[in-house]
Amino acid sequence: MPGLEDLYREIILDHYRNPRNRGELPTPPAHRFEGFNPLCGDEILVYVDLEDGVVSDVRIGGQGCSISQSSASMMSAAVKGKTVAEVRDLTTAFKGMMSIHETQLEGTDEEGEPPPDSGSDIALGDLEALRGVVKFPVRIKCATLSWNTLAQGLDELAADEST
């Protein structure tokens, strides 16, 4: 039986208490992406500045539980300075870790170990702390909300540009 400490790792609580990149960016030039968790009513806003295909700045708004807020905070720190392509790879790696089928429920918790199915050597760093969320299936959507919001927003941008 997984316990609370499997879910609420210290790094998660730290990001929850001291969220990074909290706030807004002026739109335009920034893009504003909005995501909802229809199950619990949580709402996330992701603001990104893009310069030559690089995420030059990012801010997080909205409201949510400790898992969705800390995941968004960690994401903001992780994607800043990365190219859109790198952000996509990171998202794939993160969502791979968050997938019940790809992660052993009794898996080990060693820091820095890449998820088995990420298919790359992308280091998730602090994000590894969210691995325990998989043991609490109803909370997975909390952890992936900000990532899905960002990924969907970037996809829509790309689609707009190609038309």
Partner 1 sequence: MAMTRDRALDTTRLRQDFPILGREVNGHRLVYLDSAGSAQKPRQVLDAMDDFYRRSYANVHRGAYTLANEASEALESAREKVAHFIGAGSPNEVIFTKNATEAMNLVVNSWGRANLRDGDVVVLTVLEHHANIVPWQILADQIEIELRWVPLDHQGHLDLTALDELVDGAKVVSFSAMSNVLGTLTPVRRIADAARAAGAMVMVDACQFVPHNPTDVAELGADFIAFSAHKMCGPTGIGALWGREAMLDAMPPFLGGGSMISDVRLDGFTPAPLPHKFEAGTPPIAEAVGFGAAVDYLSALGMDSVRRHEVELTSYALRTLTERFGDQIAISGPSEPAERGGVFSLAYRDLHPHDISQVLDERAVCIRAGHHCAKPLMRYMGVGATARASVYVYNDESDIDALSEGLEAAGEFFAF
Stretch that binds partner 1, among 49-57, 103-111, 121-129, 134-142 (CB under 8 A): 134-142
Query: CA geometry: angle at 100 spanning 96 and 101, to 5°?
Result: 80
Give the strand order in the sheet containing 54-63: 31-37, 42-51, 54-63
**13, 85, 94, 140, 145 from 5: Cα distances, Å:** 11, 34, 20, 16, 22
Residue spans of beta strands (DSSP E) within the chain: 31-37, 42-51, 54-63
Tell whether residue 142 is a contact of partner 1 (CB under 8 A). Answer: yes
139: contact with partner 1 by CB under 8 A: yes
Structure tokens at 72: 């968004």
Interface with partner 1, residue 3, by CB under 8 A? yes
Q: Closest distance between partner 1 and the C-beta of residue 144, in Å?
A: 14
Q: Is 105 in the site for partner 1 (CB under 8 A)?
A: no
Q: Which is nearer to partner 1, 66 or 92 (CB)?
A: 66
For residue 123, what are its two tokens?
């280091």
At CA 61, angle to CA 69 and CA 17, rounded to 5? 40
Q: x/- site string to partner 1, residues 56 to 95, per CB under 8 A?
A: -------xxxxx-x--------------------------
- Count of residues touching partner 1 (by CB under 8 A): 21
H or E element that contains 129:
none
> Minimum Å distance from CB 136 to partner 1?
7
Site residues for partner 1, 8-27, by CB under 8 A, read 8, 13, 17
User: Interface residues with partner 1 (CB under 8 A)?
Assistant: 1, 3-4, 7-8, 13, 17, 39-43, 63-67, 69, 136, 139, 142
